[in-house]
Amino acid sequence: MCNLNYCITRFILSAYKIFQLPTDIGIEIAFAGRSNAGKSSAINTLTNQKKLAYTSKSPGNTQSINVFQIIEGKRLTDLPGYGYSIASKEIRRTCSNVLPKYIQKRQSLKGLIILMDIRHPLTDIDNQVIKLATQRNIPIMILLTKADKLMSNAIKAQLNMVLYKLSFMFTADIQVEIFSSLKKIGVNKLQQKLNTWFSDPYINQI
């Protein structure tokens, strides 16, 4: 397994359409989730860079696919937040088309991190995104974010509920972890999964 230095990750471009993305080679791991689920905060925590990915208290601000390069041929992508947007109808329509096209067509996509607020997991649109990824056999890791908002008993209950529902809805082996950018909970598990995906020869052939 390769152990990458995520602290050297750098922003390379923003794309509103698939053809604007980098050449479709190498390995990309994408971060997806409802607006305000904590995608940008997770990327900043992973890379130990406070301002690498844009964060806002107003949901719906990530309207493009933002691409970050760790090293040559290994990238992270921050996908547009779904479920809510303060942007114009035109931009919302563009984003709603870009996300499924990216998951369905992007050959360098080798893993999907889906972030869900632990207090509101597995919404209908979350399930649609999971279904899109499983149809292409894209490996999935779910991060239940903002775990610092709940007490330990409630965290355990939410985790068990998510695992139970996933076992009935999907046949894919989906890893679920507790995560908090504020408390740095789950960061090591995220790093370990990314290291595995970036180095797994089977995944790289999918």
Q: What is the rounded CA–CA span in Å between residue 125 and residue 53?
A: 23
Instruction: State the pLDDT at residue 202.
Output: 61
- Please state, in angstroms and rounded to a whole number, the distance separating the CA atoms of residues 87 and 61: 8
Q: What is the pLDDT of residue 88?
A: 42
Q: Can you give the pLDDT at residue 161?
A: 98
**Under CATH, what is the fold of the domain 6-205?**
Rossmann fold (3.40.50)
Residue 206 confidence (pLDDT): 56
pLDDT in tens, the chain (206 residues): 568 999 999 999 999 899 999 999 999 999 999 988 999 999 999 999 999 987 644 444 457 899 999 999 999 999 988 875 444 444 445 445 788 999 999 999 999 999 999 999 999 999 999 999 999 999 999 999 999 999 999 999 999 999 999 999 999 999 999 999 999 999 999 999 999 999 975 666 55
Contact 62, 5 (CB under 8 A): no
